[in-house]
Amino acid sequence: MNQDRTYFLLLNIGHFLDHLFMLIFATVAALALHVEWGVSYAQLLAYATPGFFAFGVFALPAGWMADRWSRDGMMVVFFIGIGITSILTGLAQTPFQIGAGLFAIGVFAAIYHPVGLAIVTLNWRDTGMRIAANGVWGNLGVASAALLTGYLIDNGGWRAAFVFPGLFSIATGLIYLALRRNNIRQEHETISPPATKGHERLSLSTRRLLIRVSSIVFLTTAVSSVIFQSTTFALPKMLDESVGGLALDLAGWVSAAEDGKGEVATVIGLLAFIVFAVASVAQLVVGRMLDRYGPRRVFMVVASMQILFFAMMPGLKDAAALAVALGFMLGAFGQIPINDFMIGKMASGSMRARIYGIRYVVSFAVLAIALPLIAFVYDNWGFDTLFRILAFAALIILLAAALLPRKLPSANLLPTAAE
């Protein structure tokens, strides 16, 4: 039992690190690098795009490798590989070099979601709560990226923000390897049982239902990814602009040096951490509701929440902006486990990592597209227009969720329909 808890803990730490590494650059670009290198924030976003592209595209081969070789083996590759590439990124001297480093981080970061989620949904019951708990750890990684990076910018420079988490990830990978070494050796013998061809046994109505649900899953995955990327990546910059006065006051209260101006990056990071950390509780609530009520009703409530708070955000400043930002982040984080829950209920064990791989190819490919969108909208109209676009995106999710059936198709039907 103790080893089982350690196993789940390491998987959760992996989710934490996955999102942390992908968002370190967001705070670095917003609070430090544009000054040190004399490159605008919008221009710096272009160098992050290849990393998010890799984050999506390499999810499918990662899932395939996990199903064909070893899920635990791929997790070791994830921990050690992303740690090494993060350290190398911290040594970058030019925007091109940091872009290459972010691409390499994205390649290894792509491993976690198809592989880690396949392990979580295969090895334990109470799927909704397990996915939600795992999701909270991922959200805390998002939050800690802003907090940790802001602190290191003020106290050690932006390079340390890549190096120290990299060292920690390598150490975690070695612990994971020690715990799961025997399983990695044996896993390939049982992980890929022969697939059974059974789609011809499905009734026409069941096939139509599968197509309908799958279409909704991938549509809402794509649209919600735009929302998630826009809010998580840009939040440090949003807070810098909308609650900058509040952050300066807080920094002055914490430190007397230069009226606290030297600690503003830390305060912005702390405020982002608070928003992310509190909002992550939404996943636990959503996980419980998914197990009890199913995805349709939950999805509609979460989408409605996002529409409301995105519509309220334009023009707000300081405390009001911070409160509304917390509101839309509750919605953005709350929607994360819903599609994973539906896939976990419908996808068979032997192909689950690949199905999750396809889901995250869609998700993270859209994340890469979202970065140029953020840069373009911000450069031309500012964040207020972005909030209005995100409110419209949430409306699309609400309409799609309304088309979900009240009861999902039976487990293990999705892969056979796809074979």
Q: Number of folded domains in the chain?
A: 1
The answer to which of 168-182, 343-357, 360-374 has the lowest mean pLDDT is 343-357
Q: How many CA atoms lie within 13 A of 293 on its CB side?
A: 14
C-beta separation of 304 from 398 below 8 A: yes
C-beta separation of 26 from 233 below 8 A: yes
Quick check: is 202 in a domain? no
**Cα–Cα distance measured from residue 34 to residue 228, given in angstroms and rounded to the nearest whole number:** 23
What's CA 169's distance to the chain center, in Å? Answer: 17
Per-residue pLDDT tens over the stretch 149-168? 888 877 888 899 999 999 99
Quick check: is 392 in a domain? yes
Angle separating helix axes 2-28 and 112-123, nearest 10 degrees: 150
pLDDT confidence of residue 158: 86
Per-residue pLDDT tens over the stretch 304-334? 999 999 999 988 887 888 889 889 988 888 8
Highest mean pLDDT among 151-165, 182-196, 275-289, 382-396: 382-396
**How much is the average pLDDT of 380-393?**
90
Per-residue pLDDT tens over the stretch 36-65? 888 877 788 788 888 888 887 888 888 888
pLDDT confidence of residue 312: 92
Quick check: is 198 in a domain? no
**How much is the average pLDDT of 14-19?**
94
| CATH number reported for the structural domain that contains residue 120 in this entry | 1.20.1250.20
C-beta separation of 229 from 329 below 8 A: no
**Cα–Cα distance measured from residue 150 to residue 142, given in angstroms and rounded to the nearest whole number:** 13
Residues of the chain by 3-state class (helix, strand, coil), percent to 5: 85, 0, 15
Quick check: is 201 in a domain? no
Whether the pLDDT of residue 4 is over 80: the answer is no
Quick check: is 196 in a domain? no
pLDDT confidence of residue 414: 47
- The residue range of the domain holding 135 is 2-189+207-418
**How much is the average pLDDT of 104-125?**
85
pLDDT confidence of residue 252: 61
- pTM for the model stands at 0.70
**Cα–Cα distance measured from residue 366 to residue 363, given in angstroms and rounded to the nearest whole number:** 5
Quick check: is 197 in a domain? no
**How much is the average pLDDT of 384-400?**
93
Higher per-residue pLDDT: 121 or 135: 135
Q: Residue 105 carries which side chain, given as an amino acid letter?
A: I
C-beta separation of 291 from 283 below 8 A: no
**How much is the average pLDDT of 336-347?**
76
pLDDT confidence of residue 253: 58
Per-residue pLDDT tens over the stretch 227-273? 887 887 777 778 777 776 666 666 665 554 444 444 666 777 778 77
**Cα–Cα distance measured from residue 45 to residue 225, given in angstroms and rounded to the nearest whole number:** 17
Per-residue pLDDT tens over the stretch 194-224? 444 444 455 677 677 777 888 888 888 888 8
C-beta separation of 360 from 113 below 8 A: yes
Quick check: is 194 in a domain? no
pLDDT confidence of residue 306: 93
pLDDT confidence of residue 255: 58
Question: Any idea of the CA torsion for 129, 333, 43, 52, to the nearest 10 degrees?
Answer: 30
pLDDT confidence of residue 21: 94
Quick check: is 45 in a domain? yes
**Cα–Cα distance measured from residue 350 to residue 22, given in angstroms and rounded to the nearest whole number:** 29
**Cα–Cα distance measured from residue 384 to residue 404, given in angstroms and rounded to the nearest whole number:** 31
